[in-house]
Amino acid sequence: MQVHPLPVDPRAPHPPRPVVLAVMDGVGVGAKDAGDAVATAKTPHLDALWRDAPTRTLLAHGPAVGLPGDDDMGNSEVGHNALGAGRIVRQGAGLVQDALADGSLFRGETWAWLLERPRAGTTLHLCGLLSDGNVHAHIDHVFALIDGAVRAGVRSIRLHALADGRDVDDGSYERYLGRLEAHLRSHDAAGVDARIASGGGRMVVTMDRYEADWSIVARGWQAHVHGDAPRFPDWAAAVAALRSQPGGASDQTLGPFAIHDAGGPIGAVADGDSFVFWNFRGDRALELTRAFEAGDDFAAFDRGRRPDARFAGMMQYDGDAHLPTRYLVAPPTIRCTMGEYLVATGLRQFAVSETQKFGHVTYFWNGNRSERLDPELETWREIESDRISFDQAPAMQAAAITDAAIAALNAAPAPALLRLNWANGDMVGHTGNLPATVRAMETVDAEVGRLLDACRDAGAVLLLTADHGNADDMWLRDKKGAPQRGADGAPLPRTSHTLAPVPLTIVDPRGGWRLRDDLPEAGLGNVAATVLQLLGRVPPEGMEPSLIRWET
């Protein structure tokens, strides 16, 4: 495909009006029972829109967003890729799966470069999220890397395994560590010294994103690179002890640990070692990557001794910044996005969210580019997120996001496309706190009402949707859908995304179109062409079809 200016659609009302595309992050269409924070919250504005305005659901998981299978939950990264690209893009999980299955990863130059020194006697370090959620990483990928290294002659391997509890059941860290330990022991007979060396919860160790809190990365650096963290003789003792410490009740916030023996930390990174970050998703991998690759001008935290180690990521996490320099699997190439067509057509865009989702309405939306497509035509606004557990302040920065969007809508000239993300449903939903998530949804509803009034006053079109499910199901459930219950009889909290479809509602004061009824399997990739039609342009070939049809 080639990007070109989009022709005017003669069937569309003219002149075109601005389109406001609002993403309610983590808001799916769920079971509408007591575990569904979306349904149980008091949401008069959403209720009225979903009852009276043109509304349908969209698929936001699995193959509909480029993930391998129907059991793969959608996430904010792939959701915003699909929204911005206007088509289904095969994503990181599938690309890594392919590279492992056909062996191309192990034939690559980066793999040979990484193993050159460990094959001669140094240590290979593998670090990342220990999970089969397939959002940031997959444990099967870790097993494959271990097996490939052993086949290649590496005899010293250290694992730095981070707890999930977000894309998988909370409290499952011990289970994943046990699986990893068993896999490592399967190589004992070959004389391989392979051990778990450090770990901790993803929300407090290593996996910060968008530079929201570099102290998280600093804890990971100290634990993984220096072995400087609370000391334990093995991972079982570490997790058992940390469970009783602040944050230990959840895998996400489990404190850092490092395994030590009589000689000190077993996993400190030495000169000559190699280090692989096995996450395939970029947003929570970039900062540790920078800590390894930046020179003496790095100032985010004091790294102390910086070992002469070779570093690579599972994928390249930022194509514009070329981070990391070395990577095992090439990321998806996403070109000819909606944003590129708008720039080519000379139409202005405005994007706003708070720190936690700012990269999603910019970097991921624009096809994994960290820089604006055209600084003259594209304005970005980041609002700093709170640095506390989001269930403590479930309103987050939703009001400030709406304020910024309304100000942009009332500017002269107004952007053709304004896009925003309210993070509440996802970030508060991930805490597992049902009452707080209900309050988060009530906040989002209030902001929907404010934005709707502003769009009506400006004559703008409002397109309201979501990127994946989360707040729609706050309970762990059995195969029949009944809640799983703890010893006290209360439903066990769910902290992960869901497989739910997401709502799409369009409020257009001009009308002249109807929602199509011949696209039952439509997904997030269909939104871009819909936006372009509402902007009075003919969508390009290669995009998923628009969800509306002109009636004139």
User: Residue 354's beta-bridge partner residues?
Assistant: 383
Cα 82 from Cα 84, distance rounded (Å): 5
Q: How do beta strands 461-465 and 19-24 pair?
A: parallel
| Structural contact between residues 241 and 295, judged by C-beta atoms closer than 8 angstroms | no
SS3 call for 129:
strand
Q: Do residues 507 and 468 make contact, with C-beta atoms less than 8 angstroms apart?
A: no
Q: Are 340 and 369 in contact, with CB atoms under 8 Å apart?
A: no
Q: Are 208 and 227 contacting, i.e. CB atoms less than 8 angstroms apart?
A: no
Q: Report the distance separating Cα 282 and Cα 123, nearest Å.
A: 25
Contact 94, 535 (CB under 8 A): no
Query: Catalytic: 172?
Result: no
- The pair of structure tokens assigned to 27 is 């808001």
Q: Which two tokens stand for residue 114?
A: 């990484």
Distances (CA, A) of 347 to 89, 341, 343, 379: 25, 9, 6, 12
**Catalytically annotated residue among 76, 131, 250, 353:** 76
Strands (E), 86-216: 124-129, 156-163, 193-201
Q: Residue type for 173, please? A: Y
Q: Is 134 left (phi over 0), alpha (psi -120 to 50) or beta?
A: left
| DSSP strand pairing (156-163 vs 124-129) | parallel
Residue 277 is inside which H or E element, if any? strand 274-277
CB contact burial 289-326 (16+ within 10 A = b; e otherwise): bbbbbeeeeeebbebeebbebbbbbbbbbbbeeebbeb
CB-based contact 61:74 (threshold 8 Å): yes
Cα separation, 254 vs 266, in Å, equals 20
Of 232, 259, 255, 252, which Cα lies nearest the Cα of 171? 252
In sequence order, the 6+-apart residues with CB closer than 8 A to the CB of 237 are none
Rounded to whole angstroms, the Cα distance separating 523 from 539 reads 16
Residues that are catalytic:
76
